[in-house]
Structure formats: structure tokens, C-alpha cells
């Protein structure tokens, strides 16, 4: 018995010594690969990283953060079976990370990464469209909050479109997926817009951003640009497949079943509104039911559009104002005010439209679209005799339009190409250098009348 106990103790001590030695080696190699990764020497980092991952998988989160960078480099710089082995290694790494650092591994984010990697190498992995869609669908529905990457959101929707076009998904499934992804994108746009607004407000108050804040500002603008891009692309794709002749029978068939489902009603009304299917009696029925089931700022706007179509402008404006009062969240309120301004612009009620658009800018200054709408209204008024005493003064309004349009690109990088086109168009119609010279007004400030009631400085001649 004594011999057996002694043997057990020796084995235990040896085991303890081996474990201690392995842990020490892991810590040493952790430092080696971490420094190599910081220097972007990924090949040099691979072997020490692999040892630590295999022997001490719970030692440090850097095993997985750095490991992702190492394997990404390996995948991008290898081919055929070797490349495929690194793809599998990356997928296994994310599974291992979830086992050892679950609280630091958001399910939606990392499941989406895994799906995206399989999509990027779908031919090599032999993945079908249906398999990939199921992967993204499970990731999205298991943790929608952290499923945020623009590329993965777009891939998720594009796979649904492929299945729809192949006759494997119905129109209802396509539109539901479009709504799910669109609403998620809207949440992210709101999130980054609000973060950017805080920095824009700091700049507007005359303060300088710190280096960290400048980096954040660039990151927020980049995300907003990417989200806007995929949102626009999704709209183009959906618009080709969502036509009034398709939507009306679909929503008519499902109306009775979903008439008390506020989400279904909201999506149906929104799609018919944006596809200009508002002349059909179904639209009015949907709007009224939506307002009955879940009255909100949105429902008031939709009712207002119905009233405008019936020529009841004053009643419609009352509903629009009520919509603005009901919404209290700054970002959402800004969207309501913007929609009101856009409607009033179309009704050529420019002064009221500008008031609403200006209020929208105060609440969401990083959205440049209100600036473009105001610029467009200035352009439309450039030939109005009430705005200037002669042709020169009237056309000076185009400079004001340019000034307003340029504000849009300064606050909203997603509008740069649009602003460039607007500015070129306005400048082509403004007084020429020769006309400025002959007028004798170079460098002077002109008062513009009519509803505009603004001043503009005449450009100097070089």
C-alpha cells in the first residue's frame, strides 16, 4: 500500500511538473506570437501560436484574436488543399473560442463570420445556396443584435434572392427577409448616426476632435457609407421583384390573417407606400387598420399621404404635425420631420418644407439629405421674379443652392457623388465670370427675396 501511494505521489508530482512546464512554455510562446502578429509577421507567429492553441486553449483571448489574423494571412496566401485546411482551421478556431471564452464571443457576430467564410469559399467547400442560407438564417435569428457586418447582411439577403429566383422561396418569404435585413440596417444606421452626431455637434461648437475621436469619426462614416450602399443595392434588387401587381394580390390574400399583426401591417403599408401602390383601395384599408392596431407617428404620416391624394391638404398637414409631436426619439423624430419636409416640397410649399427640413437637421445633423432638398427648392425658385429684381439676381439663387448642397457632403460622406452632380448642374446655370464682371457686383452680398429670404455673396473674379 505504501509503495502504491508513493508511486501515485510521484506520478502526481511529475504530472504537476509537466503541466507547469507546459504552461510556462505556453506563456513564453504567447508573448512570441503576439509580438510577431503586432509586427505583421504572421508566418513567424504561426508555429508558436499553434502550440499555445493546442496545449493551453484557455490561456488568453489573444490566442483567438491573433489566431484569426494569422489564419486569414494563411488563407489568403495559400492554394488548393492547403488553403482549404486553413479555412477549416479558422472555422474550428471560432468554435474553440466559444468553448473557452463564451462571454467574449457574441453568437451573431461569430456565426455570421463562419457563414461568410463558407460563402466566400463555397465552391471549394461544396456548399449549396440552401445550406449557406440556412447558416446565415440561423445566425441572424439566434442573435440579431450582434449580427451587424454590412457584407454579411447583404450576403444573407442575396442568398434569399437566389433561392427566390430559383423558385425555392415564395414572395412572402423574400419580402419578409428583405424587411428583416432592412430593419436591421436601419438600426445600425441610427446607431452610427447618433454616434457621429455627437462628434459633429462638437465640431459645430468650435471644438477640435482628439486623435481618437477623429478615428472614430472616420469609422462611423465608413460604416454609414457601407450600410447605405447595401441598403440602396437591396432596394434595387427588391424593386425589380416587388411590383404592385405582385404586392396587391399577396397582401389581399394575407390581410385577414394578419389584420391584427402590427409588424405585418407596418411592412405591408411601407412597401406599398414606397412602391407607389397607394391608389389601390387595399392601401387605404391597410393604413386605417395599421393606425387602429398600433397608432404611432408612422401611421399618422401614412394617413396624411391618403388625405393629400384626396386633396385634403389642411387635414393632412394636421396629421403630419401630430406625427412630429408623437415621436420623441431624436433620430426617429428627425426622420418624421424629413418626410414631412419632403411631402411639402412636392406640394411646392417651400417655406414650410424648409422649416421642417431644418428641424430635421438639428436633430440628425449627420444626414445630408435635407440640405439637398433645400438646395433643390432654391434651384426651383431661381427663375421666380419675386426672388430677384433682374435676371442676374434671380440666377444668383443658384450660388445659394450650391452653398446648401455642399453642406450635405460635409456632414454626410455617402452623398459626395450626388453633391458633385448637383453642384455642377447649379454652377452651369449661375451667372458666368463675364456676367459677374459686367455687373460690378463681384464680392458683394446680394439679398434674395421671396420665400427664400437669404443672402449670398457674389464670387470674386480671379
Q: Which is nearest to 283 in space by CA: 299, 260, 261, 306? A: 306
Give the model's pLDDT for residue 94. 97
First to last CA, the chain: 105
Give the pLDDT of residue 287: 92
Nearest to 372 by CA among 328, 421, 337: 421
- Tell me what pLDDT residue 213 has: 93
Q: Assess contact for 142 and 106: CB atoms under 8 A.
A: no
pLDDT score of 329: 86
Instruction: Read off the C-alpha cell for 297.
Output: 407617428
pLDDT in tens, 53-71: 999 999 999 999 999 999 9
State the Cα–Cα distance between residues 66 and 73, nearest whole angstrom. Answer: 11
> What CA–CA distance (Å, rounded) separates 12 from 140?
47
For residues 382 and 395, is the Cβ–Cβ distance under 8 A? yes
Cα–Cα separations (whole angstroms), residue 286 to 78, 170, 263, 307, 410: 56, 22, 12, 14, 40
Task: Evaluate whether 106 touches 81 at the Cβ level (below 8 Å).
Answer: no
Per-residue pLDDT, 78: 94
At 442 the pLDDT is 86
Determine contact, residues 278/266, Cβ cutoff 8 Å. no
SS3 of 209-239 = CCHHHHHHHHHHHHHHHHHHHHHHHHHHHHH
- Could you give the angle at the alpha carbon of 405 between the alpha carbons of 402 and 407, nearest 5°? 115
pLDDT score, position 128:
97
The whole-number pLDDT of residue 23 equals 86
- H or E segment and range at residue 421: helix 416-429
Report the pLDDT value the prediction gives residue 4, as an integer from 0 to 100: 54
**CA dist., res. 280 & res. 244, Å (int):** 9
| Number of Cβ within a 10 Å radius of residue 436 | 20
Report, as ranges of residue numbers, the positions in the chain whose pLDDT lies below 50.
Answer: 3, 6, 8-17
pTM: 0.74
Radius of gyration over every alpha carbon of the chain, rounded to an integer in angstroms = 30
| Residue 128 near residue 162 (C-beta atoms within 8 A) | no
What is the full DSSP assignment across 243-300?
Answer: -HHHHHHHHHHHHHHHTT-HHHHHHHHHHHHHTT-TTSHHHHHHHHHHHHHS--HHHH
Amino acid at each position: 500500500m505504501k509503495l502504491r501511494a508513493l508511486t501515485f505521489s510521484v506520478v502526481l508530482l511529475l504530472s504537476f511538473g509537466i503541466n507547469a512546464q507546459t504552461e510556462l512554455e505556453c506563456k513564453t510562446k504567447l508573448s512570441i506570437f503576439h509580438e510577431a502578429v503586432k509586427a505583421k509577421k504572421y508566418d513567424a507567429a504561426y508555429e508558436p501560436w499553434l502550440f499555445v492553441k493546442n496545449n493551453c486553449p484557455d490561456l488568453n483571448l489573444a490566442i483567438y484574436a491573433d489566431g484569426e489574423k494569422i489564419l486569414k494571412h494563411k488563407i489568403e496566401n495559400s492554394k488548393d488543399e492547403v488553403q482549404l485546411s486553413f479555412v477549416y482551421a479558422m472555422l474550428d478556431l471560432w468554435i474553440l473560442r466559444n468553448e473557452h471564452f463564451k462571454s467574449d464571443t457574441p453568437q451573431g457576430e461569430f456565426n455570421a463570420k463562419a457563414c461568410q467564410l463558407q460563402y466566400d469559399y463555397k465552391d471549394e467547400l461544396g456548399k449549396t445556396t440552401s445550406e449557406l442560407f440556412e447558416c446565415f438564417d440561423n445566425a441572424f435569428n439566434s442573435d440579431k443584435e450582434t449580427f451587424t457586418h454590412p457584407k454579411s447582411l447583404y450576403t444573407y439577403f442575396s442568398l434569399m434572392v437566389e433561392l427566390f429566383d430559383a423558385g425555392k422561396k415564395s414572395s412572402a418569404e423574400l419580402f419578409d427577409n428583405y424587411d428583416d435585413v432592412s430593419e436591421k440596417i436601419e438600426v445600425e444606421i441610427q446607431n452610427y448616426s447618433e454616434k457621429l452626431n455627437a462628434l459633429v455637434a462638437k465640431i459645430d461648437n468650435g471644438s477640435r476632435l482628439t486623435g481618437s475621436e477623429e478615428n472614430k469619426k472616420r469609422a462611423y462614416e465608413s460604416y454609414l457609407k457601407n450600410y447605405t450602399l447595401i441598403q440602396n443595392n437591396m432596394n434595387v434588387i427588391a424593386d425589380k421583384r416587388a411590383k404592385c401587381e405582385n404586392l396587391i394580390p399577396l397582401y389581399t390574400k394575407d390581410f385577414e390573417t394578419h389584420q391584427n399583426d402590427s409588424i405585418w401591417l407596418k411592412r405591408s403599408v411601407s412597401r406599398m407606400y414606397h412602391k407607389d401602390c397607394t391608389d389601390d383601395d387595399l392601401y387605404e384599408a391597410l393604413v386605417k387598420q395599421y393606425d387602429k392596431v398600433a397608432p404611432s407617428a408612422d401611421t399618422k404620416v401614412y394617413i396624411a399621404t391618403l388625405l393629400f391624394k384626396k386633396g385634403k391638404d389642411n387635414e393632412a398637414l394636421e396629421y403630419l404635425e401630430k406625427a412630429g409631436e408623437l415621436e420623441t426619439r431624436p433620430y426617429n423624430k428627425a426622420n418624421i420631420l424629413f418626410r414631412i419636409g419632403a411631402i411639402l416640397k412636392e406640394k411646392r410649399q417651400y417655406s414650410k418644407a424648409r422649416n421642417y427640413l431644418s428641424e430635421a437637421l438639428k436633430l440628425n445633423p449627420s444626414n445630408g439629405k435635407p440640405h439637398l432638398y433645400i438646395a433643390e427648392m432654391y434651384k426651383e425658385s431661381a427663375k421666380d421674379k419675386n426672388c430677384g429684381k433682374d435676371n442676374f439676381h434671380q440666377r444668383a439663387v443658384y450660388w445659394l443652392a450650391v452653398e446648401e448642397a455642399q453642406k450635405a457632403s460635409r456632414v454626410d460622406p455617402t452623398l459626395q457623388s450626388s453633391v458633385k452632380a448637383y453642384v455642377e448642374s447649379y454652377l452651369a446655370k449661375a451667372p458666368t465670370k463675364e456676367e459677374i464682371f459686367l455687373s460690378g457686383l463681384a464680392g458683394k452680398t446680394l439679398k434674395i427675396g421671396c420665400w427664400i429670404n437669404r443672402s449670398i455673396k457674389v464670387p470674386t473674379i480671379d
